[in-house]
Structure 1
């Protein structure tokens, strides 16, 4: 079954001008290589910042994210796993989750068609 890993940036995440950012970004690249080699990773995408977002609600379009929050969707990956427990175990290995830099939401994907 496919699961989407929603990668939520937090205020604790290293910024690109911090000393720890380069090493962390390298860890993220290694994570994609590791899980890509297993055949379980079906891709990943980083999203542009919320300042480029548009929200459509009841036909009206507004700038920015749909709600005020400290965690912002920063990207997503799709993985193959036998169960949500396996998907959660994989998500827990994403760099920064254990340090509180990233929050990860795991959701089953419903195949359409």
Structure 2
């Protein structure tokens, strides 16, 4: 089954100095290499721009930004393959920086059509 990994950057990540951010991104690139190598990565997804370029469509029209109280910002996504949600969670838990509070990862099963 396919699972969407939503990658949420935290305030901690936003305060990283350039050298620390580059070191973290090197870890992320290595994670992608491992995920591709073991066949778990279905779609590498993309990094997303910040909330300053976000538009939200609501019943009242289109507004600038997400306008929600949050300490996390959706920073990107990817799609993985796993047998169960527990396997997906275990795999996603290896994402670099979770243990340091740089990022949280939300897992959602992708419903087949």
Task: Compute the TM-score of the two structures, normalised by the length of structure 2.
Answer: 0.92
The worse-fitting range, judged by mean Cα deviation, of 6-15 and 80-89 is: 6-15
Unaligned 5+ runs, structure 2:
none
Structure 1: 5+ residue runs without aligned partners? none
SS of the residue aligned with 2:96? coil
C-alpha displacement at 1:15, in angstroms? 4.8
**CA deviation vs aligned residue, 1:4-44 (integer Å, no higher than 9, x gap):** 01101100115564331111110000000100111110122
Query: What is the match of residue 100 of structure 1?
Result: 101
State yes or no: 1:62 paired with 2:63.
Answer: yes
- Of 59-68 and 73-82, deviating more is 59-68
Aligned residue pair count: 112
Provide the C-alpha distance between the structure 1 equivalents of 2:67 and 2:37, rounded to a whole number of angstroms.
35
Partners of 2:99 and 2:6 in 1: CA distance: 16
Structure with the bigger percentage of helix: 2
